[in-house]
Amino acid sequence: MRVMLWGTYDTGKPRTRLMREALRRIDLQLTEIHTSVWQGVEDKSGLSGSGRLLGFALRWLLAYPGLVWRFLRAERTDVVVVGYLGLFDVLVIAPFARMRGIPVVWDAFLSLYDTYARDRGMAAERSLQARLLRRAEAAAARWADLVVLDTAAHADMFAELHNLPAKAMGNAFVGAEDSAFAALPAREQDGGQGLVKVLFYGQFIPLHGIDTIIEAALGERGRAFHWTIIGKGQEAPRIDALLATADAAHIERIAWVDYPALRQAMAEADIALGIFGTSEKAARVIPNKAFQALATGLPLVTRDSPAMRELAEGEARGLYLVPPADPDALLDALEAFAAERDSLPQSLHQDLKARFALPALTAQWRDLLERVT
């Protein structure tokens, strides 16, 4: 199968990098036609201010003539894959792809409308900007031959939101990069006497439920643990202001770290935290941090959800699924881990990891592409 990966896809996202690596295994001569527009834009919500937003939009628009020209001159492939964030990429390339008789697979990954208007609440659902975004997303979905999201639950929502048939939808897990999240070295046993070190990292967005983590950490029971909280984003200023006025010597706050430093933080932690948000989107996704913790073999506490049940079909040792927005349940899970940590196997999550390792992702993407070729 000859595959082309086309557009302005964001290579700063693990989703994109892992999808690209899977495509390279499917087609050893993968054709890439790409212009980077997202470099230096880690948090998309940070594109505020008319000057910065206008400058970014101009850079984005100027990328398309060259991308289309390179597509038209390229050798014909069996399929064109448009990566995340590719909403406008699809609207641009799909007419030209149809002209050449090439199907388009769009890795939407998530609904931008749902994220913008519902999950992060950055605009009212009936606002002009939200309605325009919803219409653009629906148009892109109809131009694509197949739309891919990260979980079946997420794909079902997307289809319902835009009135799409089930055959137009697919899903593939995000996974974790082996280069950064290989299994951690075996931990030394300490007889359960050491203070449990809890790690959370990520962008501070509503989906993560950072308030639940902070409430658990600042409570009386939370003082029995050492908490390391790494991240920045939408909720960070409010959380930092709260911590600044609290008695929180047992909480270490770090703004951001690169992958090598993050791996070191994971090696020093006893257990990692996933997400605890209450939104519908939080129930439909499995975040990067969950895949990464499972890949390294770290025990993990995260919210129970239909999406997590797609990955962890049964109970797995070292994986603690709790109700959302429930600090007491989070602390119960941490205490349960503390009681059994020395009895947990040194190699955790092997069965789960096999479901999202690169060979599994490659198989998922191959099946998706074969549906349209």
For residue range 211-255, list pLDDT tens digits in order.
Answer: 999 999 999 999 999 999 999 988 899 999 999 999 999 999 999
Rounded distance between C-alpha atoms, residue 240 and residue 243, angstroms: 5
- Write down the residue that tokens 């939370």 correspond to: 222
Say what angle helices 288-296 and 259-268 make with each other, to 10 degrees: 60
Q: What are phi and psi of 47, to 5 degrees?
A: -80, 65
Retrieve residue 291's tokens.
């895949």
Beta bridge partners of 33: 6
H helices present in 233-349, as ranges: 236-244, 259-268, 280-284, 288-296, 306-311, 327-340
pLDDT at 174: 97
pLDDT digits (tens, 9 = 90+) for 46-81: 545 455 566 667 888 899 999 999 999 999 999 999
* pLDDT confidence tier of residue 119, bands split at 50, 70 and 90: confident
**Contact at 8 Å (CB) between 120 and 206?**
yes
Retrieve residue 119's tokens.
């999950």
Retrieve residue 251's tokens.
């909480």
The CATH topology of domain 3-175+357-370 is: Rossmann fold (3.40.50)
pLDDT digits (tens, 9 = 90+) for 316-351: 899 999 999 999 999 999 999 999 998 998 889 999
**Contact at 8 Å (CB) between 30 and 24?**
yes
Rounded distance between C-alpha atoms, residue 17 and residue 11, angstroms: 6
Q: What would you report as the CA-atom Rg of the chain, rounded to the nearest whole angstrom?
A: 21
pLDDT at 206: 84
* pLDDT confidence tier of residue 42, bands split at 50, 70 and 90: low
| Model confidence at 136: pLDDT above 90 | yes
Beta bridge partners of 254: 230
Tell me the mean pLDDT in the region 173-187. 92
pLDDT at 102: 98
Model pTM score: 0.91
Q: What are phi and psi of 144, to 5 degrees?
A: -75, 150
pLDDT at 172: 98
In the chain, CATH 3.40.50.2000 sits at 3-175+357-370, 178-354
Using the CB atoms, write b or e for 278-305: b if 16+ within 10 Å.
Answer: bbebbbbbbbbbbbbbbbbbbbbbbbeb
CATH architecture under which domain 178-354 falls: 3-Layer(aba) Sandwich (3.40)
**Other CB atoms within 10 A of residue 261 CB:** 12
